[in-house]
Amino acid sequence: MTWPHRGSDVRDRWTTVRGRDVHCLTIGGTRSGSGPLVVVLPGLGLPFYTLRTARALVGRGLDCVVLDLPGFGSDRPWPTRPNIHATGLTAARWVEAEAPERPVVVVGHSTGAQAALTAGLALSARRRALCVVLAGPTFAPEQRRLRRLARTTPFAYRHDPPNELNPAELYRGRAGIIAMLHSGLRDAPEQRIAHLPVPVTLTAGAQDAFAPVEWLDLLARSACGAPTVRTSLLNGSHNNLFTHPDEVAGLVTLAADDATSGDTGPRWTPSPA
């Protein structure tokens, strides 16, 4: 099997955050203007599969960075522990260092959505030009045991090709990926999201067994502190940031408008049964 290269348009950047070097990936050159910045937190700390969505966002005129946290995307020492909360707090510190005055959309996918929730909670104490997007959020209450999660996994990835993963990232992560998984299983996002005071978007692929409609609806109902909540089912299964990047980018673009103007439309509409 031929594994695709990440692309010649991908740039590596490093920022020192509390004495640690945080690696991020950008597409082309990120502008230093005042427009919204999209910050992507990948699932299980594996950045490669998110790059297609990053390209689609840049194609729509948005600046986008993929944060390599905990740090499986390079050979350098990890800047943070492989834990959703440590990752989210490091992401928040990165945003404060790199985008102190810009509107920011924090997009997290899978366990990265749990980290994005942590980042959003931390950032919301200091800024309002902020929106959080939880894509394919993990883990629904009934999936917080390894045996049940194992039964669900084949259905969650049913339309995801193996070349969405970078073997080098998997090798570097190894035990760290397992630690990220276990930290996600111990989390209860439906409790924490109640304290999020900024607009939130919830989305998943329609065939994503990790994020069924009932789980998205529970998160939406629980987000009682958010001024607005948007829910959207898109095409694909769990990793639709790789398989349907344009759809995901379109939804994130709406969230960027939320972060910039605060105009988010209706608060929440229950998903059809």
CA 196 to chain centre: 16
Peptide bond into 103 cis (omega under 30): no
Residue at 106: amino acid letter: V
Q: What SS3 state is found at 262?
A: coil
The conformation of residue 3, written as its DSSP 8-state character, comes to P
pLDDT at res. 32: 60
What are the start-end ranges of the H helices in 157-212?
Answer: 167-173, 175-185, 189-192
Per-residue pLDDT tens digits for 187-226: 999 999 999 999 999 999 999 999 999 999 999 999 999 9
* Bond before 48 cis per omega within 30 degrees: no
Torsion of CA 119, 10, 30, 245, to 10 degrees: -60
User: How do the domains of the chain map onto residue ranges?
Assistant: 10-261
Specify the pairing of strand 130-135 against strand 200-205.
Answer: parallel
Tell me the C-alpha distance between 192 and 122, whole Å.
12
User: What's residue 192's pLDDT?
Assistant: 99
Amino acid in the structure at residue 124: S
Q: Beta partners for 63?
A: 37
**In this structure, are strands 63-67 and 37-41 parallel, antiparallel, or unpaired?**
parallel
CATH 2.40.40.20 fits 10-261, yes or no: no
Predicted pLDDT at 1: 34
The confidence score (pLDDT) of residue 123 equals 97
Low-confidence ranges of the chain (pLDDT < 70): 1-5, 29-32, 262-273
Residue 45: closest CA among 84, 77, 7, 17: 84
pLDDT computed for residue 136 by the predictor:
98
Beta carbons within 8 Å of 79's beta carbon, 6+ residues apart: 17, 20, 21, 22, 23, 69, 70, 71, 90
Residue-level pLDDT at 264 = 38
Count of residues in the chain: 273
CA-to-CA distance for 216 and 134, rounded, in angstroms? 10
Q: So what's the pLDDT on residue 6?
A: 76
